[in-house]
Chains A and B, each alone.
Chain A
Amino acid sequence: MTPILELRTVRKAYGDFVAVEDVSMAVPAGSIYGLLGPNGAGKTTTIRMIMNITPPDSGEVHVFGHPRTAADLQRIGYLPEERGLYRKMTVIDQLVFLAEIHGLKRAKILPDIQRWLERVDLAKWSKSKVEELSKGMQQKVQLIATVLHQPDLLILDEPFSGLDPLNQELFRDLLGEYRAQGKSVVLSTHGMEMAERLCDHICLIFRGRAVLDGDLKDIKRRVGGNAYRLMATGDLDRLKTLPEVEQATVQNGVVKLMLRQDASGSAALRQMVEFLEVHEFRSEEPELEQIFLKAVRDAA
């Protein structure tokens, strides 16, 4: 199946600083695709190149199966990292305008707007100016604006930053509905937990390079074949000195271990019992965070 969005060796440099270096990625239709990476990795630059806000120095962007055109952009819902609306416009005028620049007609969109405003509990604010709204309400208006024209593809830059838990949930529901309709979502985040719960596919960007890319389950199988859960008492700090151990993170008395790809679990366990009282040791699916840390370490 043709990917709904495809980047082909896209590159962007600012002077000597290469923000995005030959990134290629393919977003399958009907998926939620997570663009992960630490701050400053190049996620926003990548997204801005997708949206044609920053022209790439080289490489190609394909959407809906062909090289991107201006008309394609109207079929995308875009939520930029820096949020913003026309402060002096009323909520309803604002939403109508943003729908109209995406090619919709006022009369056709008004009932939709009403429905959305009711859903997010803003119906009685529809005639208020945006500047009279609280920050959280403005966020909701912006979310509506992003999805109002029923785009086939959503591009969301850090959608959860600055959202309170209620709005986060609203947003998660929304993304679920989108996927259910067979539409696609690309979102960037540095919150691993959120990405793990939402995404089918991920692309890990580190220092401008895509260091890991693919189906989340595949990646977990491939990269994280050697993840273990350990419950033990004793000198846990010594774990990191073992040659088999690549990562060891302790949380609430539970140690998440990531062993080297070629290391054997039982060999590691034999060494551990030398200095630890082991209560539990079992193989498990690695968390995205562990994969992330490992990939970043490998890349660095």
Chain B
Amino acid sequence: MRLNNVLVVMKREYLQRVKTKGFWVGTLVLPLFVVAVTFLPGLLMAKSKTTQSIVVVDETGRVGTPFAARANARDGQVPKGGKERGLMVDESRMARFEVKVELLAADRKAQKADLDRRVRDKEIGAWVWVGPGVFEGKPVEYHARSVSNVFTQDALRDDLTMVVRRERLQRAGIDPERVEELTKPVPLETQRVSEKGSRAEGGAVGMFFALGLFMMLYISMLLWGQQVMNGVLEEKGSRVIEVVISAVTAFELMMGKLVGICLVGLTQLGIWLGTVAVLTAPGIVASMALMPPGKSLPTLTLGVLFHFIMLFILGFFAFATIYAAVGASFNNLQEAQQAASVVAVFIVIPVMVMWPIINDSSSRMAVVLSLIPLFTPLLMPLRIAIEMPPAWQLALAYLLTLCFVVAMVWFCSKIYRVGILMYGKKPTFQEIWKWTRYA
């Protein structure tokens, strides 16, 4: 391998990407996009003033009116004293109702049939039938055209439960006000213990911090890994590869490409991490009054930063070499898409297991999964952001991933070398496997 050739290729790959407007737009817009995707659905739900009109028929005569009063009092805002769920939006709080109580008719069957008709004709959104057995635990009927509105149903259930519970308490001779007073939830004030001692840190904030860093890595690996594939396909498609490969070897070209695009990813990640570091620096966000008083954000320490960058590099090389081999094997993006999506699955799996790991980052599952080389680059940083894992686990993870990356570079460069000059029909996986046996 001639280092100078690798550097020349690397420089091209880096500058060609960083010089584009797309890179800068992506770098600046993506974080906004992520924030939007996280918070927008809640905001939209709050803004959309869909008020469901509901008719209640109450056989007991004790539930209907207080229920209607309670439900109609919902204004789509978070009620005071509601349960604390961190920064997460509790969608059920956003429901709005217009509840009307209707009297019980002599013919219940006819009344129910008529209510169904009104729902069908869209005169009303839904109707609720409170039967006499409600205090003994019998269910309340809810009829609507669609029953997938789980958030609305949550809200209705909450309101019905409150009303029925009060009635049950009163019947048992207990003062409901007193019960409410005595069963108030205990607020939890989370304190994170680190080397520097304890400090108050919002649990939800800590989670968002870890999640944010995790998502950054995830997006970078997926994005820049696929960029490697696209780059290889472009060289192949435009046929420029033949000229390039007559001057530099396939391995030099592949390494130059990998290092160059890795640096692009690092540049982007650097900008993002820099932003996070500034935002989480003590005082800044607090001064923006976004944080509850007395709590502080977790800060990006140098140790965390180091592991993030190292693991990004390892992860990038693990996936990008595979993407390079995939790109070399096929003639165009369409052909490569299938194989590329198989690779992407391995990047997506960590996203699927991230919640249990965020909840308990030192569980056996978290430890085992974060030691598997393909998952280490994403899951280990997630664990690190939550709680620094023991040194032996870190060392083992690095060692395993490094071995894996070396093996992948060795293996994929064989496919790459043969593949980049293969044109014609789409190769089968058996054929690609055979390429690795050449020379």
Contact = CB atoms under 8 A, between A and B. Distances in A.
Interface in B387-423: 421
A145 interface: yes
Contacts of A53: 242, 245-246, 421
A168 interface: no
B439 interface: yes
A73 B245 CA distance: 10
Of the candidates B238, B244, B248, B439, the one having the most CB atoms from chain A within 10 angstroms of its own CB is B238
A152 to B, nearest CB: 14
Contact of A100 (B8, B238, B240): B8
A85 B16 CA distance: 14
A52 B234 contact: no
A87 B439 contact: no
Contacts of A54: 421
B350 to A, nearest CB: 32
Contacts of A87: 234, 238
A79 B15 CA distance: 26
Contacts of B15: 93
A141 B249 CA distance: 23
B245 A84 contact: no
Contact of B243 (A52, A55, A70, A78): A78
B8 A97 contact: yes
Contact of A70 (B4, B11, B249): B249
Given A97-B8, A97-B12, A101-B5, A86 B246 contact: no
A78 B246 contact: yes
Given A53-B242, A86-B240, A89-B16, A101 B421 contact: no
A101 B240 contact: no
A76 B247 CA distance: 8
B243 A98 contact: yes
A20 B12 CA distance: 36
Contact of A80 (B8, B239, B439): B239
A55 B439 contact: yes
B9 interface: yes
Interface in B230-289: 234-235, 238-249
Interface residues of A, number: 29
A70 B246 contact: no
Nearest to B420: A53
Nearest to B247: A101
Prevailing SS type, chain A contact patch: loop
B47 interface: no
Contact of A85 (B238, B245, B246): B238
A48 B115 CA distance: 81
A51 B241 CA distance: 13
Nearest to A78: B246
B16 A51 contact: no
Nearest to A54: B421
Contacts of A62: none
A179 interface: no
A25 to B, nearest CB: 19
Interface string A66-105: 0000100110101110111111110001000110111100
A101 B244 contact: yes
Contacts of B240: 84-86
Contacts of B245: 53
A145 B241 CA distance: 13
A70 B238 CA distance: 23
Contacts of A89: 12, 16
Contacts of B235: 86
A132 to B, nearest CB: 14
B196 interface: no
B85 interface: no
Contact of A103 (B4, B9, B242, B244): B4
Given A97-B8, A97-B12, A101-B248, A80 B2 contact: no
A149 to B, nearest CB: 9
B247 A82 contact: no
Given A53-B246, A80-B243, A86 B9 contact: no
A74 B245 CA distance: 10
A102 B247 contact: yes
Contacts of B11: 100
Contact of A88 (B2, B16, B248, B249): B16
The 9 closest A-B pairs by CB, nearest first: A84-B239, A80-B242, A84-B238, A101-B247, A82-B239, A84-B240, A100-B8, A78-B246, A51-B246
Interface of B: 2, 4-5, 8-9, 11-12, 15-16, 234-235, 238-249, 421, 439
27 contacts: A52-B246, A53-B242, A53-B246, A53-B421, A55-B439, A70-B2, A78-B242, A79-B243, A80-B239, A80-B242, A80-B243, A82-B242, A83-B239, A85-B240, A86-B16, A86-B234, A86-B235, A86-B238, A86-B240, A87-B238, A93-B12, A93-B15, A98-B243, A100-B11, A101-B9, A101-B244, A101-B247
Interface of A: 51-55, 70, 73-74, 76, 78-80, 82-89, 93, 97-98, 100-103, 145-146
Given A70-B2, A86-B240, A89-B12, 4 more contacts: A87-B234, A87-B238, A88-B16, A101-B247
